[in-house]
Structure 1
């Protein structure tokens, strides 16, 4: 591997601090000691790396790192090769400004630096440090999804490095089966070294901030949510969290709104009025000029959070009071049981689902196109001793949500971007799995891409 003639960099343990820095992930639980870390600077660097890895006996495991924000070890390898795309982070706006092409190692913050200057929008992550590739290939739920659908619904094309070393363009007209599969099928088919997205008109300014309530107000908050969603428009969304904010660490309900087209907070004043009628203990909503600013809103809180982090999540059909109350009770009991895990939190996203339902369920690999929302459990621990408890907690809560949702509505399976890898592929991809297996057989029959939710190729 050290003798490969590539333009990029190959790191090993002997590389010292630069190797250690390249191992770092958003969660300390996501880092594994790779034998080699390859940082390509051109797309042609990647095929010889793949060929070399597969020529070993046995072949070396290959992982791909975009942003490294996922809390699994999908972007890491213990003794294998990590293809680290961080130096492939260019963002190019088309001359007509109708699209933007983003390399696979870019973060959403890199994209917003470009689009903000041109007063344009792209359907991307609410957090600047999330990688563009992983976020998109898993579906891509965005603050702009209410108006414009998911990130995969805004993909125009992608350049993909295949397991056999070919570099192809996937689009509706070239390699259409591959284009279908990577929109919601994850990284099971190749390395998306760039993705082209539609751009949209400026959606700001934004109303963004915090409304917080004591846990005793959960029934009242859930009642307001049920009423509020009957008048919610695609321009309004929020994340609700169950968390224990410092310094008192009391069980709290925190509403984090993002309101689009909010000149002088006039829309926020109207749409948040029902929540303010509950007299929150904290009410801090301020104008944000652009998505770059919005994406940095959580920086301070995340910087202080324990870095032993595991995340799982799933879909749910509605904000059923009995579902959320059951999760609340389990979360309160868990975070009261051990001070080491009290930073663990539960997130509930409430983006207007109308636009994502306009796409047929078989038009992309993403299984869920009926109205739905998503939730995630963040298991955080301050000590190694409590990591397993945090893992077990996240597993139990998402299982509870899935079971309760099946009782109250229908089974929506698992959310690929919030999986850990032990979930069954049929529960992630549903009826689309059969076609995904056919595409896998065509583009990766030897399962070179074996990190994440592995899709078995059709025999």
Structure 2
């Protein structure tokens, strides 16, 4: 692109057929549209193409490609690294594309790429159906599914990507492809974990399962002084869970803003209520909690239970890696790190993997992390820009302190934007060379590289 006038002329040409909205810095709504969930990200695209449908996605992608613009793609905009936006380039925004259709008879849902899990669950739960979605309801279905898909149902029904039946994809060369087990199966393998590297996924088809509307779940919190005992209990308890039960642990702060540190468990049982109540007995019987909010809860209620802890616009810096086990030394260091947390919104989280999510072969999908264990998230979150330095430093220092107990694997959806070296190979492990070959087939010029990028094979 040589001049501002050239860009304006091409935008005018695109606008003749574009059904959505084209936003520039002077357009009303631009400032709101450019912001993603993480308030630490403050970028200004030259153009935001808010797409109304697949044709808009295809036209916007062609526009960016022909003009040589850097291209970012936004679904829900929840990615902590801010990969959904860009300075000076083109943001292709799927947020307006929220169509959801549930075929209750076939137990299948079709959803466009701008939908969030709150919107998706609202439609599927009308029929007592669900698929594995995010643990926070404001998360977009697209990014979560394409990168993995940790959620409350993953013990029983696998990750979000394990429930993907088909995807409608706009590739960088302008083709509209369906990817499933029979059609473009290599692409289907790659998008189940490989993120947005191969094209823009305009719509998804998910397998649904009978869930709810009422399940059993909630939060139990103990005083921080009991954190060691609670994490030892958590380690032992998670060695033999039924598939229906998911339990995550966290060193967190009280939600009242007081800064009071707590040790907490958040749990969900997706089976019938009597089995759920029985499964929760050991959790409820342990110690003397200061909060016990575990009991019957709607699936939608559980899925939004943690939303208030992650408000849009809060400043976030995350670090993450897998732990194959929770040794005594790991637990002690987790507690020591959290004791130094400078922000009342900071957390250290442990997401337990077991059950159906671990009964898929390492190379059956692009997502390779199929062993039982824990995903550690060092989550620093704060509200005042003046606190940025100390809060980001705490996340980095805590992550470094815990490195001796980490496994090699990384969860691509939690990768930050300050990695000292490219972490993508660690995120995909043995699957990375195959992903590079598929990237070279569908995006040989790496047009879609404003993501956790897979470099095309030469």
Number of residues of Structure 1 aligned to a counterpart in Structure 2: 442
Partner of 2:51: 40
Partner of 1:259: 269
Partner of 2:350: 348
Partner of 1:338: none
Quote the Cα distance in structure 2 between the aligned partners of 1:95 and 1:228: 36
Partner of 2:410: 414
Partner of 1:408: none
Preserved contact between residue 117 and residue 133 of structure 2 (Cα < 8 Å): yes
Cα shift at 1:313: 1.8
Quick check: 1:446 aligned with 2:445? Answer: yes
Quote the Cα distance in structure 1 between the aligned partners of 2:98 and 2:54: 12
Quote the Cα distance in structure 2 between the aligned partners of 1:141 and 1:128: 12
Quote the Cα distance in structure 2 between the aligned partners of 1:217 and 1:438: 50
Cα shift at 1:203: 4.3
Segments ≥4 residues shifted beyond 4 Å: none
Q: What is the 5 A alignment of 1:212-291?
A: 212-245=221-254, 246=256, 248-263=258-273, 267-268=276-277, 270-289=279-298, 291=299
Quick check: 1:324 aligned with 2:323? Answer: no
Quote the Cα distance in structure 2 between the aligned partners of 1:13 and 1:203: 45
Segments of structure 2 that go 5 or more residues without pairing to the other structure are 1-10
Check 1:247–1:71 CA distance in 2 against 1; reply closer, same or farther (3 A cut): closer
Preserved contact between residue 212 and residue 254 of structure 1 (Cα < 8 Å): yes
Q: 2:154 aligns with which of 136, 145, 149?
A: 145
**Residues 371-418 of structure 1 deviation map (CA, whole Å, 9 limit, x = unaligned):** 22212122123322321332233234334444313xxxxx33211010
Preserved contact between residue 325 and residue 373 of structure 2 (Cα < 8 Å): yes
Cα shift at 1:270: 4.8
Quote the Cα distance in structure 2 between the aligned partners of 1:396 and 1:448: 35
Q: Normalising by the residue count of structure 2, what TM-score does the alignment of the two structures yield?
A: 0.91
Quote the Cα distance in structure 1 between the aligned partners of 2:283 and 2:86: 49
Quick check: 1:164 aligned with 2:194? Answer: no
Partner of 2:36: 25
Check 1:200–1:229 CA distance in 2 against 1; reply closer, same or farther (3 A cut): same
Partner of 1:380: 381
Cα shift at 1:248: 4.0
Q: Normalising by the residue count of structure 1, what TM-score does the alignment of the two structures yield?
A: 0.91
Partner of 1:129: 138
**Residues 10-36 of structure 1 deviation map (CA, whole Å, 9 limit, x = unaligned):** 0111112x1112122221113411111
Quote the Cα distance in structure 1 between the aligned partners of 2:136 and 2:341: 27
Check 1:369–1:425 CA distance in 2 against 1; reply closer, same or farther (3 A cut): same
Quote the Cα distance in structure 1 between the aligned partners of 2:242 and 2:90: 46
Q: Which moved more, 1:316-325 or 1:186-195?
A: 316-325
Q: 2:73 aligns with which of 64, 73, 78?
A: 64
Quote the Cα distance in structure 1 between the aligned partners of 2:123 and 2:425: 38
How well do the aligned residues superpose, as a CA RMSD in angstroms? 2.0
Partner of 2:23: 11
